[in-house]
Amino acid sequence: MTEARREAGLTQKALAERLGVSLWTLDALEAGREDIARHAPAIATATGMRAETLASAAIEPDAVVSRPHTPALARARVASARAIRAASGRHLVLSALALLVLVRFFTEVVHVAPRALNFIDIPLFVVLGLAALSRPLDKYSRGQNLPMATVVVGFVALSAVSIAVNISRVAPGPVFVFLYGFLAPLGVYAAVYRLWPAGHVASLSRALVTLGAVQLAVVGLIDLPRFSSSSNPDLISGTFGTNGYQLVFFLLVVTGLLAGIFTLEPGRLAARLAPATLLLILGTIFLAQYRALLATTAITVVVIAALLGGRARGLVSAAVIVISFGITFSFVASRFPLLQLAPTVSILQGNPSYYLSKRLHAAGSLVSLYSDKPEAIVFGTGPGTFSSRAWATFAFAQSTSSSNVQGSYVKFLGGGKKYSTDVSDKYVLKQYHGAAVVQGSKALSSPFSSYLSLMAEVGMLGFFLLAGLYVAATARAIQLARWALRAPARGDPLPALLIAAAVAFTVLVQMALLDNWLEVTRVTFVAWILLAVGAKEVSARSTQQPA
């Protein structure tokens, strides 16, 4: 079919318009993912090929081959090898996503797997990277990752300078964890972009919907009964073990996806169930009691509404989300007063900058560092020496907390010695131990933040490189979503996925204000996977359209 189109001098867009189908459907027809038979007469009229030939080629691609070594057979073999390679790449990406989201359920909730599997992101990163390197570059991948590669090289170079300047302060283990935490997600993006076969976005959309349903099932069957007996909202964490913040992040991403599905894919079961599902998702988020993310949830609703507001059904979707937000918030706030949601809203109404001012006050440790050591503005104090997740991993290795999975491994690698640095002892630990409880949480007064740790450990230039990259990724995700929403075809899964990607980065850059979230692979890997797949799909479609 592809050869017939090309011989007729038609682009995919031109042929799709003649057939009255979307570009996504036409791509599926050419790739053999949809039955060509019912479109054969129309395709024959548009391309000049006989309908019988098209239909028989779809059923038996090698039927026209009479000898085993004809060019047609060689092309068929090449096409078959490409199809197998594409399928393996897709399955690898989807499996990596599922493992990231589900593994902690089996290691920390039902305890059927060793907790060492919590480090599954490392082998996944290696496998994705090796698989990507083993694949030839397709036409959509050439040069696409050059800007990101430039940032990575620059960040590594700055880190190397910071290490050299602070050689007496840094240690190999924290340095490695620091570089891995910040750079591995970018490697995952590059690998997924190269591995993902364009035209299969529906499979990722279905996988995310399924994983979202799993979260709600776990919350309903396991978390809520435990919450009812203990009134401890920290127990609501879905498949994310002891970390409910990660559950909130993932559910917000699924919220964006479902809003897009409801608007543009009304034929899917997920679209018909979307209003009820959104109520359950928002109820779960509010029950999880993470009041520091209440504003983030509200901003997410606004972003989704803004993206979808240009279409009639999009306005309905936006209204459904806003109404769901109001209903679930009112219900949870009145039914569970111990969560103190209503007082939080009252504070924000009286002083909208309350939380921001508290967070800026927590940056005092960085100001003191810069005042005492001006050279840190340029060179930093060294990777893994101040308040990054890498530093905390080694500094708190002795902790007996149930969430301290890495402690025993870190103590082994460090020979049992407690890790500390002069700058963290002076500027971080004092603030950490004396952090005030603000609205039931120490998140706003703690010294932890991806942005603060970058400024302290690799200086302002390193901060601008990494933080700028995330801001650019957020803008890119929103730009791609708006592009896909300009003239979307009914049933096209790409716009909904790009809305989910935009939500992922919008939430991530806000969460990084509260803690070291840019180093948490279970959220950063997911965000970059979504952006890689969405960008690959858009690149493929843009290439196929005429200039």
Q: pLDDT for 309-348, tens place per residue?
A: 776 677 887 788 888 888 887 887 777 777 766 666 666 6
Q: How confident is the model at residue 415 (pLDDT cuts 50, 70, 90)?
A: low
Cα distance between residue 327 and residue 467, in whole Å: 35
CB 344 within 8 A of CB 439: yes
**3-state DSSP of 435-462:** CCCECCECCCCCCCCHHHHHHHHHHHHH
User: DSSP for 477-519?
Assistant: HHHHHHHHTSSPPTT-SHHHHHHHHHHHHHHHHHHTTTS-GGG
For residues 251 and 215, give the distance between their C-alpha atoms in angstroms, rounded to a whole number: 8
Mean pLDDT of 293-318: 81
Cβ proximity of 489 and 265 under 8 Å: no
| Amino acid 296: pLDDT | 84
Per-residue pLDDT at 7: 67
Domains and CATH numbers, the chain: 2-64 (1.10.260.40)
241 Ramachandran zone, left/alpha/beta (phi>0; psi -120 to 50): left
Q: Do you know the residue count of the chain?
A: 547
Judge whether residue 69 has pLDDT over 60.
no
Distance, in Å, from the CA atom of 18 to the CA atom of 14, rounded to the nearest integer, reads: 6
Per-range mean pLDDT, top range of 76-80, 89-93, 446-450: 89-93
Q: What pLDDT is recorded for position 59?
A: 43
Distances in whole angstroms, Cα of residue 56 to Cα of each of 61, 63, 74, 78, 351? 7, 7, 19, 20, 70
Q: Is the pTM of this model over 0.75?
A: yes
Query: How far apart are the C-alpha atoms of 68 and 74, rounded to whole Å?
Result: 9
* Residue corresponding to tokens 């992922």: 504
Residues contacting residue 288 through CB under 8 Å, at least 6 positions apart: 233, 236, 237, 244, 247, 248
Helix (H, G, I), strand (E, B) or coil at 441: strand
CA distance 264 to 82: 30
Backbone angles phi, psi at 459, to 5 degrees: 80, 175
Cα–Cα nearest to 144, from 201, 185, 212, 193: 193
> N- to C-terminal Cα distance for the chain?
22
pLDDT tens for each residue of 510-539: 999 888 999 999 999 999 999 999 999 998
What pLDDT does residue 99 have?
96
| pLDDT at residue 188, as a whole number | 96
d(CA 75, CA 65): 11
User: What is the arithmetic mean of pLDDT over 113-137?
Assistant: 91
For residue 485, which phi and psi values (nearest 5 degrees)?
A: -90, 0
229-244 pLDDT tens trace: 887 888 899 999 888 8
Q: For the residues 489-503, what does the mean pLDDT come to?
A: 93
8 Å CB contact between 178 and 185? no
Positive or negative, the CA dihedral 353, 359, 363, 365 is: positive
Q: Is the pLDDT of residue 84 over 90?
A: no
Of residues 430 and 529, more confidence is placed in: 529
Residues 6+ apart with CB under 8 A from 354: 347, 348
What residues contact 416, with CB distance under 8 A and at least 6 apart? none
Helix axes 450-484, 494-511, angle to 10 degrees: 160
pLDDT in tens, 255-283: 999 999 999 898 899 999 999 999 999 88
